Amino acid sequence: MNQQRTGEFLKHLRKEKGLTQEQLAEHFSVSSRTVSRWETGNNMPDLDMLIELADFYNIDIREIIDGKRKSENMNSETKETLLKVAEYADAEKRKLKSKMLNFSVGTFIFLVIFCLSHTGIFNFLPIEPNENLNDFLQGFSLGIAMAALGLNILYLGGILDKAREKKLKIFCRTNRRNTR
């Protein structure tokens, strides 16, 4: 896929309709800067946006990806499949956001426990010796919170995804060898 050619094709399609970047951006509820990035090839629309663009311009999505017109129209099965893929990708994004929110809330709770135990607020508990309880709560909650933050950074940095991909490649290679 040549992003420059795709961008030029998107620009050509927009101009064919007699629209400005601002008008197109308003129609798709994106910024005009986003449209500009598409047309320069610096950035590409998401899959669901590609489908909407193809519908808007009444062309095949493959034409947008290839950056040139084709004679055949996208059949309904291909369109339905692409819509399902886009819906699946959106569902995965929502799941990820939910997991990250839960993870962040848990980290925050352990940090609060650390701060409260650091101030000695748990000294009222009828457990002897209280100093050991506070030390334990401080160490445990700070350790959990730091580990959670570290995992969060690794996850958001994509390092965990890369490790998972590498593990999957090794697993696939091992399976191929074992099936021979």
Strand boundaries in the chain, DSSP class E: none
Residue 127 banded pLDDT, cuts 50, 70, 90: low
pLDDT tens digits for 100-117? 888 888 888 877 777 776
Average pLDDT of span 120-148: 69
pLDDT at 143: 83
98 vs 49: CA distance, rounded Å: 23
Q: Tell me, what DSSP letter sits at residue 73?
A: P
138 vs 165: CA distance, rounded Å: 36
Residue 8 main-chain phi, psi, to 5 deg: -65, -40
8 vs 64: CA distance, rounded Å: 10
Residue 12 banded pLDDT, cuts 50, 70, 90: very high
Residues found in the chain: 180
Please identify which residue in the block is written with the tokens 């956001």: 97
Average pLDDT of span 62-72: 77
Quick check: 89 and 109 in contact, CB under 8 A?
Answer: no
pLDDT tens digits for 44-62? 888 888 888 988 998 888 8
Tell me: pLDDT of 131 over 70: no
Residue 3 banded pLDDT, cuts 50, 70, 90: confident
Average pLDDT, the chain: 79
Most confident listed range (19-23, 56-60, 135-139, 160-164): 19-23
- 3-state class of 151 per DSSP? helix
